Amino acid sequence: MKFPGSVHDATVFKESGIFKNHSRIIPEFLKLVGNKEIPFIILGDPAYPLLPWLLKPYTGHLTPQEESFNCYLSTGRIVVENAFGRLKGRWRCLAKRIDINYKFVPYVALACATLHNFVEIRKEKFTPINEYECNQQPPDWHCNQVLESSECDPSDLREHLKEYIVSNFPLRSSSK
């Protein structure tokens, strides 16, 4: 499906292959964290839904523990965002509209990712790009529409991870 550039990321995500096929795409691997088995999860920002396989920060009035959890979650997301920034910095065609037949776009993206991994291993320099800000509104998520029968409640999962972090790491606060 084709989306214009002004469509919010979460809307595109809801129509994506990973959203629709997550049970086949995300590996079924559990890691014991504290006393609870935690599945592979994707880290998202507040615009995304809280799902058993997609973790997002707490929102609203936060306790110090929730704020600390959000800081640790943000640290993980920043690593990924920086990697994509370097990828787009090296392969500028990924930072704008690609004027080719849409059927070839996955091949272009795969070629860029492959070359990117090669130059990352060799520690080659790249030119960073500046992202532009959009006033995009997140879609209204109705979790009952997106949650399937699942063995773990995403709120319980996030709560457990927050408690684990609070018990094992120093509290952090965001710089507001």
Task: Return the residue matching tokens 């272009």.
Answer: 108
- Evaluated on CA atoms 105, 107, 112, 117, the torsion sign reads positive
pLDDT band at 20 (very low <50, low <70, confident <90, very high): very high
The answer to whether residue 3 is domain-embedded is no
The answer to whether residue 44 is domain-embedded is yes
pLDDT tens-digit series, residues 119-139:
989 988 776 655 443 344 444
- Mean pLDDT for 71-81 is 91
Instruction: Give the DSSP H/E element, type plus range, for residue 84.
Output: helix 64-90
Question: Are 65 and 171 contacting, i.e. CB atoms less than 8 angstroms apart?
Answer: yes
Question: Are 140 and 42 contacting, i.e. CB atoms less than 8 angstroms apart?
Answer: no
The answer to whether residue 35 is domain-embedded is yes
- Mean pLDDT for 153-165 is 90
The answer to whether residue 161 is domain-embedded is yes
- Mean pLDDT for 144-152 is 47
Domain interval for residue 97: 9-168
Residue-averaged pLDDT of the chain: 82
Number of structural domains found in the chain: 1
